[in-house]
Every structure is written in C-alpha cells, then in structure tokens.
Structure 1
Amino acid sequence: MTIAETPVQLRRGGRGARREIRTAIDTTMLPALKRNLPLIEPMDAEQIARIDAASMDILEEVGVVFRDPIAIEDWRKAGAKVGEEDRVFLDREMVREFIATIPETFTYHARNPANNLPFGADHAMFIPMTGAPYLRDLDDVRRGPTLDDLANFHKLAHMLPAMHSSAHHIVEPMDHVVAHRHLQITHSSMKHSDKTFMGMTTSGKNAEDVLDMCAILFGTEFMETHAVVTGNCNGNSPLVWDETMLGAMRAFCRRNQPVLCSPFVLGGANTPASTAATVAQLNAEALSALAYTQVIRKGCPAIYGHYLSTVSMKSGAPMAGTPEISLMNMMIGQMARHYGVPWRTSNTLGGAKTFDAQSGYESASTMMAVLMSGANYMWHSAGWNEAGMHCSIAKFIVDAEQCAMGYRMVEGVQWGDFDEALAAVRDVGPGGHYLGHPHTQKRFQEAFFMPEMFDNNSIEQWAADGSKDITQRALERARDMLAAYEEPTLDLAVNDELLDYIARREREIPAVDALNEEY
C-alpha cells in the first residue's frame, strides 16, 4: 500500500461505525513481486510449437536485416549465412544454442542493497513509463518538460512503494540539448532514488557514457558479476535491427548488463493483420536479437522484450487496451517460458488525451492481462497516456496504486490467519457484526486493500470534502509527497566524480540538438 494507516480511534457500533485514521506517507519499496496465481495460457503445446516453427522458418528463410557492419561481421564469425543488403539467415539450431546460454534468473542490484530485486521466473517488477515529450503537470497542464520535472518524477518513483525502479527519461528534459541529455538523465536517476534504474540507449556512445557513470557508482569489477542497470533496444519491425540499437546493445552486453530486446509492434501496420502471425514475426525478431546478445558475450543477461499496440484501420493511430494486445501478451509469456528467458512487457497504457474514463479502462485492461501473463519486467507501469506522448502526474500516482493493488492480487490468497478468522465466526454468531472483534481490530489494516485515490464515501461526504475528482485527489497527493521527499544519501565523493564526468563529456560532445554518432 502507498500509505501506512494508523488508527487513532474506533467508535464501536452497527453499520454506522467509522474509523478516524491519521495517515502518514510510507515510502518503503515493496519486495519483488512473487506470483502465486496460475497464469493464463491460451496456447496448447501444439500451438506453441507452431509459433516456434513459424518463427524459425522466418529466421532461416526470410532472414533479419542487421543494418550494422560490426554485427554483420560478428554473425559471419559465428557461422551465420549473410546475404545481400545485410540480411542474416539464422539456422534454428544455432539460435537455440545461443538462447540456451541466457540466464533465466538474476538479481538486480540497487545502490541501496535493501532495494535489490530477484528477477525472472516467478519474480517481477514494476517500472514507470519513459520517453514522454510532454507532461501533464501538478496543475494538470500539458506542456514541455524540464530537468526539474524529470527530477520530480524520479522523486515520486522513489517514494511510491509499488515502483521498483526510477527508470530513466520518464519525460524528456527539453531545457537541455539532446546531445547532453543522457548524462543529466542518468545523474537524476541515480541521485533522486536509490532503487535500480534504466540506462539510455540513444546511441552506442551514449550507452557507453551511461555505463561509465554506473561504473563510478558501483565499481567496474562489481558490474562484471552484478546487474545494476537495464538497457532497451527497439527493433524496427518488420525484421530490422539498426546500427544505433545494436551499438547500444554491444555496450551493455560487453559490461554484462541486461538489455531488453524489444521489437516495436504496430499490429496491422508493421506486422500481419493477425494476432497469431504477429506473435510469430515478433518472436522471430526477439529471438534474433537475443541470440546476438550471446554472440557479443556468452552468458550475459538478456530479456525478451516487445512493445505492443494495434493500429486503428480507420485512422492509422496506435491503440491501447485492445483484446488482441492482451492475447498477444499471454502468448508471448508462453513463448518466453518455452525458451527459458525472462521477458518484458508494457503496462497501464492509455491513449486518452486526459486522465479520463478511457484512460482508466485502457490501463486496467492492460494491467490485468500483464499480471496474468507472467511478465517479469513490467515497464510503463505509471503515467503513460496519449499513446506515450505525455506522462501525467495524476495518472502516475493512481497507476502506482493500481500496481500495488495488482501486486496484492497476484500474491494470492493468504491463509495465515484462517483458523483465527474462523474462530471469530463462532464468537460473533448469527446477526452480529465483526467491527469490534479482536481479530478485526488486529487485521483491519491488512485484511483488505484500501485504495487512497478512490473515493468510496457517500455523496454527501464527497461533497463536503470538496467534490474532488480523482485527478484532483492524485495531484494533491503528489504535492504532499514531493513536500515530504527526502533525498537518499549519495556519497559526496561519488557524486562529485559523477559531476566531473558529466562536465568533461559535455565539453567533449558538441552541444547540438541532434545526436552525433562520431562522438
């Protein structure tokens, strides 16, 4: 739960009994989610084999373009067939051998060891959204973000118990030139939270900068054997991996840091207009990248990734929360488990322009499918709206509470007090109530999740409290949290070294508003 509740008084009575509760912000991070519910698996063994065979046929017969001379040479040395225009044809047995060396589980290490996270198999984590060029701010105004706005999101991610990471560029800091942003973004992730975080992969050189900063924070030798940061490499569907992403992938894999291999799916636009065939193509794309991580460094951690949306055949716009996306998540979960690799998905996605009912429905539909499909790395878990064009502070707060609710559900049924609770049935008997019973007194805070952002009062009480909608309540909560924020201590010498590194790299990198691969 996002709030620790302390009872100050209980007035005993019948149906009208109420609790007066004093609330205080509790920022303790929830442990890694360990699933105790059965997963939804829509495919049988024959259908899994059919997807696998179709994907392997694509890799062998259609091929995948690796638009990068270093990757092409790597594949030649590995024994792959390279055709014209950088098209690589991968033998299925070669792919299976490479995939088999990816660790199924590992541990994420944060600068605060209390926030370390077991990862993979039954363990999962929630990560905020990233990449928004706009935000809806504390006044719910849509505008361009600054580095201070990004810092506020990192602070909120640090304080929200269900968020297991501070991510990286939750919003783009438009007050810094593009060529230098990755440095400031990484420092903000490290400084304002002591949870694990993500690293920018906007170019190979930028990825190396991020990893150098991680080495300052954690130590080069430590990184050789411990996962401390996550990179993301998006593929260009259909069937293309480009030089920018592959350069970043090599940087992360060479340092033994996990990378998400994420085909970008616009179902019906860059994949077939078919759920099953889309998964077959996506699976081939993901497998080709996962295999390449092992060409770079055998045994390095890698994560089966994707970004899923379907395209409106009326407008061409990407859609969120559709049933096909839910089905694809469930199918991809089965495929990842079939290969024995951890996997990533996207959570609480909304396409609405404001934090409205559409946004809530889309996000809830996505989250339920994600939770029941067994995803390990649940990215974009807070704030995503307008198809990722903005991050809403109000939605960020409510999404995080929704994740905490989902966390509680997937933990499964708790049986620890079953006998004690049954004894209360005998004590109360027919026609009584449980509000004053010792078992209820002891358990009322933990027995049922009590959302803070949802209003369940009578309409009279709601009106007396100001008739506030959920956006207003969430923005008030965000202001309260930011006012109460305490920065987690970062060693001054380490911070000085990070700042010196940033200053040196900003002198070396031309301050132009575009990435320059020569630097």
Structure 2
Amino acid sequence: MENLDASTHITKRHNTRRGRLARHNAPFESPIYHRRKIPAYAMLDDAALRRIEDQADWILHNIGIEFHDDQTALDLFAAAGAQVEGTRVRFEPGLVRALCATAPRQFRLHARNPKNTVTLGGDDVVLMPGYGSPFVSDLERGRRYATLEDFHNFVKLTYAAPNLHHSGGTVVEPTDIAVNKRHLDMVLAHLTLSDKPFMGSVTAVERAQDSIEMARLVFGAGFMSRHAVMQANINVNSPLVYDHTMSGALRVYAAANQCVCVSPAIFAGAMGPLSPAAVAAQTLAEAMVGIALTQLVRKGCPVVFGSFHSTMNLRSGALTFGSPEANMTTMAIAQLGRRLGVPVRAGGGQITASNAPDAQAMQDSAGAMWSTLLSGAHQVWHAAGWLEGGLVMSYEKFVLDLDHCGAMLKLLQGFGTEEEAFGRDAYLETGPGQNFLSTAHTLRHYTTANFAPAVPEGGAFETWQENGAKTADHRATALWQKMLADYQQPAMDEAIHSALTAFVAERKASMPDEWY
C-alpha cells in the first residue's frame, strides 16, 4: 500500500462528483488568496536587527540551551562543534546560524487534494485554525470540555472555509478519548474529513511515529521521502530548555523529511525579560537551535521558524493578547526570520484573553492579526476560534474570525491601477450630481469589488429589532450550524481508508487506556 503513487489516487478521488460538491456549498465564498501583493512591513532597521542577532548569539554562547534526556541530540551537537557539558549546550557565535543554512527558504506542503497544496515561504500566506484548546463553547450549550465530536466539527468547519488553507493539528483536545490514544483519532480525522494539509502528534515519540506511519498509508513512503505532507509543532520549554518529548518528536519528523515548526513560547516577564527586544532575541536563539537540530538529523529538512509570545498584566499576572508590545515583537520576529532564510510562523493570529466572543475578543484579535499579516509572516496559527488565552475554541468566534481572515487576505492584495480600475466610461455615462449605481462599470464589477462578509449584517435598526436584536455572535450561530449541516466529506480510496482504520484499531488494541 505505501508504495502507491500518491498523485494517482489523489487525482482519481478528487475527480469524483462527490469531491466537487463537497466544496461547492461552502457559505464563505471569498476567493482563496495564498499570496500577498503588498510588501511586508519592516519595523526595524539593519542596525537594530543586528543587535538582536548579536544578543541571540550572546545567549547561546554564554548561557546555552539544555536538552533533557536526549543523548542523541547532545551527541549530534557535539559532533557539529558545540560545547556540551552535561545537558547544557553552548555555541560559538555564528555556529547555530551556519547549521541552519541548509534549511530551505521555501517549500511546498502537499495536501491530499493537490488543489489544496500550499507553499510556505516567499509571498505566500497560509492560515489555520486554533490549536490545543481543552474546552469548547457555543451560545446554545455553553462552555464544556471538548470531545471527539467537537474535534470532528472543527475539522469539518475548517475544510469548508476557503480562507483557512490548513486543517491544523490539535484543533481541540478530545478529552473523551484516552490521552495515549487520542492522537490516532485526530490524525485519522485530518486525513479523512478534510483534504487540506495537517499536523501530526508530538506528545510522545511513539505518537509522532504513528502520525508518520498513517500519513505514509495515504501518500506513500516514497512520496513522503521527497515531499512534506504534514507538520510537527515543537514547543520549546522556554526559557532555554528542550525536553526529551519535544526533541525526540523533532528528530522523528526530521528523519522522515516532514516539516518541523520550532516554536519558542515566551511570556515576557515570566519566560524571558520584559522588553520586546529581549523576547525577540531569545525567541531567535531558541528557535535556531531547534532548526539546527533538524538539519543535523537530515540536511534540507523543511522547517518553519515559529514563535508564540505574549505580554502579562504585571499587576495580576494574567496573560494579555493583542498588546502593542507583543504585536511589535511579532513584526521583529518576521524580519529576523527573513534574514535567517526560512519561513516564519507568526506569534499569534486572532488571539485574545477574553472569555466571550465580545468586543474585547475582536479588538485583541484584530490588533494581533493586523500586525501578524503586515509583518510578512508566512503561516498564521490560531487564525480562527481562539478564546480565553487558548483554553477555549468558540464556535461563534470561529466564524466571526473567518470573516476577518477574508477581509485581511483581501487587504494583502492591494488594489489595481490599470485603466479599467479608474472607470472612465462611468464618468462619461453619468454626469455631475448623478450616482454611479447603474453604470456599466458598476455592473461589471459589483459582485467582486468589495469584500462580502458571510456573517449576516444586522440591517437597519428597525429591521434588526424586529428580527430579535441579535448581535453578531448570535447571528454567527446559525452560520456554523449551516456549515456543519451542509458538510460533505471528501472522497477517499476505499483501500486506503480501510488501511487507516485498521492501523488505528490495531494500535489502540495494543495499549491500555491512559487518562493522565
């Protein structure tokens, strides 16, 4: 089975009538933009960026990075010229950057449906849903622990959303499945309920290997040896520590030539100093070491320079999101990633500390998303659904965020200045003091000229009041319910589907349930 040419059964599957209909009924009909046409914003000059890079080298030379319970990683770094003392690894200035040099500047992340394959790097932009929430909420059932049904729902919603280009990973934690088995259900869902790129498990080395094996059943071992089809999210235990789970999972994905996203997680004042400059430098230092390790395992392994950072309310200790300090750090990290020469995952997407999809949630999210997309980041995690600092995935906020994703992607296109854009014929058709609504120019472009949100507008006050005075989050409820009702699963070769389900059943049968 694993020697089948992936492109053969992928094309065969997608040419079915069922495959075409699956995407036709999506309520979000905005064009799928993958590429920016306006330049990334450069907040810092070269001198400032060099000072941040020098600070990263200072950290790596004078403080170092610890690798816990991973002798293989320590041996690889020692052989590459690093100074290893116990679990601590220190690097001469410039060494880590040199080790990162074999990572590709951009690469393709192949999807089960070739039409959904994306490029990471260059001018391309890839958006994906929230990640890791143990709770979900909606206006009808309230806040509750996430289940496998919720996981399936969010994979389906993401599949139906053209403004999300990637299925995500642990979109929510299915808490009704044993901890040691739930990765199998999650990867199975990504592979069968969607045909967009996806992420595998990293919570144990054997779970990472299971994820690789399941992907090989779909894409073929030969195809995966040459192409990336999935990603791993490797979180650094900031400050300056890789535990054996993260470094071990990193090595599994790198050995299989699959994409590794290395994401330091620094909350300013807790996992690093308070200033944006210090957070940017520490993020660069921690991420470069992980990227270097991927290249020591397998030169040319595709990587993403990730980050997840936030500020804190220094009076209460609570995390804050969308703050100006965090947003400036996002912009700086994107610049540092371009200089390093690898694709960049933004520090956040539409993130918020709010407990409800309210004005605070959308204000936090809008601020974070603006800085993220203007920074030139190539991949944006948490672009839809995030609440409570990531504890909750909200069904209503998910679809509200989808609208904002569409608007921001439209913004990244800029606007044209060709002759048709100026509408000279419209001026000749009408006259001073007259409107342009019925001109030929308006009629040629009215369906595509402006971004059209999918969440229904409230209308005039009297109409809105007659319809129950529903706020945007209540109007969003009907939309996500319709998206799920209209969902049609993308087709899959029956032999491949049987092999996947058999693999999952066999692996589950081989292990006891572990709930902690």
CA RMSD of aligned residues (A): 1.6
Return closer, same or farther for 1:455/1:28 CA change in 2, 3 Å cut-off.
closer
Q: Report Cα offsets for 1:218-253 as digits up to 9, x if no partner.
A: 111101111111110000111111110001101110
Paired residue secondary structure (2:173): coil
Paired residues of 1:173 and 1:181 also in contact (CA < 8 A): yes
* Cα separation, 1, equivalents of 2:172 and 2:194: 16
Q: Report Cα offsets for 1:75-107 as digits up to 9, x if no partner.
A: 1222211024x1101123321221111101111
Alignment of 1:449-468 (within 5 A): 449-453=451-455, 455=457, 457-468=459-470
Paired residues of 2:26 and 2:161 also in contact (CA < 8 A): no
Return closer, same or farther for 1:220/1:358 CA change in 2, 3 Å cut-off.
same
Deviation at 1:26, TM superposition (A): 4.9
Paired residue secondary structure (2:448): helix
* Cα separation, 2, equivalents of 1:410 and 1:139: 35
Say which is worse superposed, 308-317 or 137-146, in terms of deviation: 137-146
Alignment of 1:378-393 (within 5 A): 378-393=380-395
The residue number in structure 2 matching 1:258 is 259
The residue number in structure 1 matching 2:95 is 94
Alignment equivalent of 1:442, drawn from 431, 441, 444? 444
Runs of 4+ deviating beyond 6 Å: none
The residue number in structure 2 matching 1:400 is 402
**Count of residue pairs the alignment pairs up:** 491
Paired residues of 1:31 and 1:117 also in contact (CA < 8 A): no
Amino acid at match of 2:453: P
The residue number in structure 1 matching 2:137 is 136
Paired residues of 1:140 and 1:392 also in contact (CA < 8 A): no
* Cα separation, 1, equivalents of 2:512 and 2:255: 26
The residue number in structure 2 matching 1:477 is 479
Q: Report Cα offsets for 1:169-213 as digits up to 9, x if no partner.
A: 211111111010000011111111111111111111111100100
Q: Indicate the percent of aligned positions where both proteins have the same amino acid.
A: 36
* Cα separation, 1, equivalents of 2:125 and 2:402: 15
* Cα separation, 1, equivalents of 2:32 and 2:453: 19
The residue number in structure 2 matching 1:225 is 226
* Cα separation, 2, equivalents of 1:177 and 1:24: 35
Amino acid at match of 1:355: P
The residue number in structure 1 matching 2:42 is 41
Alignment of 1:2-41 (within 5 A): 25-26=26-27, 30-31=31-32, 33-41=34-42
The residue number in structure 2 matching 1:244 is 245
* Cα separation, 2, equivalents of 1:201 and 1:167: 13
Alignment of 1:71-82 (within 5 A): 71-82=73-84
Amino acid at match of 2:499: E
Amino acid at match of 1:479: Q
Q: Report Cα offsets for 1:248-306 as digits up to 9, x if no partner.
A: 10111011111111001111111101111121111111111111111111111011011
After TM superposition, the score normalised by the length of structure 2 is 0.92
Paired residues of 2:57 and 2:94 also in contact (CA < 8 A): no
Structure 2 unaligned segments of length 5 or more: list them: 1-23
Alignment of 1:346-425 (within 5 A): 346-416=348-418, 418=420, 421-425=423-427
Paired residues of 1:196 and 1:228 also in contact (CA < 8 A): yes
Deviation at 1:440, TM superposition (A): 1.1
Paired residues of 2:157 and 2:483 also in contact (CA < 8 A): yes
Amino acid at match of 1:483: A
Deviation at 1:125, TM superposition (A): 0.4
Paired residue secondary structure (1:88): strand
The residue number in structure 1 matching 2:505 is 503
Deviation at 1:419, TM superposition (A): 5.2
The residue number in structure 2 matching 1:323 is 324
* Cα separation, 1, equivalents of 2:434 and 2:182: 63
